[in-house]
Structure 1
Amino acid sequence: MQREAENATLGDWASKEDEFHLEQAKKRAEIRIKESRAKPIDILAINLRLADESDEVDEALEIDVDEPYTIFENLTLQEVEELHQDIQKYLSLEKNPNNLDFWRAMIVVCEDKLSELQEDEKNVAANVIAPVKDEINNMMAGKTYEQLNKLQIQIQNKLSGNEPVEVEFWEQQLKALTVWKAKAKLKAMHEIVLRKRLEQLRKKQRQEAIKVQEELESALASHNIYHDYTGQEYSTEDDVVKTPEPMVEEYDRSMSPRPIERLSREDKQYEIIDPKEDLKKLKERRREVLRNQFIPMKVQPKKPAPEDEEESMVSKVLYEREAAKDLDEDEAIFNIEEELAKTTYLWQDKYRPRKPRYFNRVHTGYEWNKYNQTHYDSDNPPPKVVQGYKFNIFYPDLIDKTKAPTYKIERESGNSDTVLIRFIAGPPYEDIAFRIVNREWEYSHKKGFKSSFDRGVLQLHFHFKRHYYRR
């Protein structure tokens, strides 16, 4: 009974560990996409999230995606090998049945592409096979999953029958069928993605259309007065010429622009527009917008201020210097920030709040406790666990450089597995936080503990204590 209880506890712990690593992988994909350095696996992961009806995807992750299997086009052998390893990682961590179907189909297509590139590199593929392969692909392209299933049954019956057949040709067809069935399944999933994104776009445009419609109705209903060049006034509502009303504010020369004494050559080429005609066209365009159901949104990129560019350049140098350091064998990048409640700072009227840049690492490894020594060995190791972290937060523009940034641990009720570590600095930097494993720290310098702030870089490195039990 004790052994069964231990097995149940270990199974639950391993499941939580897998969920943690899967969530970390998804967040890493988000970060790389937002920073415009996405890997092929990130595109696939976001493609899968877009297909999930219950998953609200951040607008910053709304990327243009084609059918998932087209990701292999123009990839080198090395890139496909790396993508194959990444897909295997998701396969080992994923528990959702629909997501597992997606990754199983992707691994089939990936292995086919990997085999093709390996043959090309070794010059193994015979020229006589190429026309046969093209013929098979042309025959299967465009077929649905159900049609390919029927074709598979027909080929299997032909191979198991007594009639003389060209076995090699039909076996090659069966092999290709497996890949095309995987592609058909991925295509069906991609159609769900397209439907969901179309519905999201319609919803967004409906909201924007209602907002613009209200603004235009308000503008058309108002009685704004426009002046023509004769000094007369007319309403935007009915274009009826009215008698000028006395000015409330006394006229000042600064209210009017200075007349231009000489037109430039470019200005002379412009068309002369009648103000009444221009107003009529404007009103007609407004009414046309009111009749439209959707209004396309145009996002104008914000131009950074000179001080922001200078700050980002210093942070970039510090970031790249840290990122250039090699990762240890058991280290991984840990740049997954937690969302904090909106905070008002006493100094934000004077300085614009900004988040610091950072480059963090997480250290994982095996724990060879008594249980793991009994049930695992070096050939079949236990699941890796988090053994420590290295935080590197960059504060190059602190206003008060005499006060070093600090950190504190925040615990959550009902959650004993993880805690938040919050980093706090003075103006102009906002607080940032990361979720870490809730275990006792090792504060010995010999064990790797480091807490310092030097030249604008806060470094906090620590490992967790290891507990050894005697029988």
Structure 2
Amino acid sequence: MAKPRAAEEISRPSRSLSKAVRRRADAVSAKLAARGLGAFVWQKKLERDLARGILPDIVSLRDERRRCLARRREATGVRASADASRRRSPPPILDASRARAEEEAKEAAFLLEQSRLRAEARFASGRPKPIDVLVKSLDGTRRCALAAFRGASVEELKELGEEIAVYAGLDSANEPFWAAAKTMCDAEIVNATGHGERALHSAVFADVKSVVEGKSLDELDAMQHAIAAQMATGEAKVVEHWQEVTELIRVEKAKKYLEQHYSTTCDENDGGDQPKSTEEYGGGGAEDADEEGSESLRPMALPPPGPEWRKPKYIARVRSSFEWNKYNRAHYDHDHPPPKTVKGYKFVLYYPDLAGGKPPQYTVDEDDGGSSGGETCIIRFHASWPYEDVAFRIVNKEWEYSRKAGFRCTFDRGVLHLNFQFKRLFYRR
């Protein structure tokens, strides 16, 4: 047993040598640290190596310095490689932001396409909303943007303003269009409600408005810049006056922008939604020209409400025939027939671009300029912008309102139908 112990004692370094190695390691580490090359002394590994009879090479200052420099170069290379990899591949957070932006863009495009389809469907059914007029004007199929603000009620205008704000948030590519539409809508609401006090006297306001309306976009820009310069330098004494003039210019610029770029068909007719006509005023569609006992009816001349309004296409027919009652049979024959009697009328009026969604209406009034005795009256058809009123002089008799007698009054898909017959009067001796 003594021999193995002696061999073990020989294989292990002496305690004095171990202490010397530790001191040497600490001294080398301190010198490297003083040079900025701090060397880590792994004490447990050092003890294990000494227990196994292995003398660590940390005792050499030159070798340890070489290893420290090699480790530093390796660490620098690793950091450079990581930086290059990050530059080639953006961090995950940027990828997530880009993906979210793309998803939002796809959603906005989907909502805009759905709005276009809804507008198309409501136009096809003859019940377009004001926002539909703007949507179809923007995509170029019905360029009549100004029609969206004409004839709409205050509630419809307020709803339109909210819808415009939604579209402006979705359709940033057409921001100038929606900004102009919002300006026009707000101005129409103020005009309709009368809210807000004017700094300008009514007569002055009318004069300024007439001057502003006669300017081009470039001239309006020049006026706006001139007023802004005067207000900035203090030359404009009555600030409220010039602020109102500036607002008039801003509204007129929005109107001119929509008029020049998105209202090219306001004074034109959309042939796809109107009757085929060969007569001067659009009467006499194909099926009506050959109707037995039916003749065209010409409208009365009415003063036009403005240059932007237009007369709707229409079919107007008067139905007449011989009345072979007892009196006429006694006094007339087929070779010498009695005068024709008006039996009724048929009207078909076309309003494909009617704004606001309100159906047209008709009224029957006295005929002040017609024949004496009240034998005739005036039937007048009224719709909102851009369509003028249309009026006809008709026989003043009592109408038959039963469907069985042929009465019809409907408005569907932009077409107003009105058919009626007069009540029959029987002769008695």
- By relative contact order (CA 8 Å, sep 6+), the higher-ranking structure is 2
TM-score, L = length of structure 2: 0.40
- Kindly name which structure, 1 or 2, has the bigger radius of gyration based on alpha carbons: 2
Q: Pick the structure with more helix per residue.
A: 2
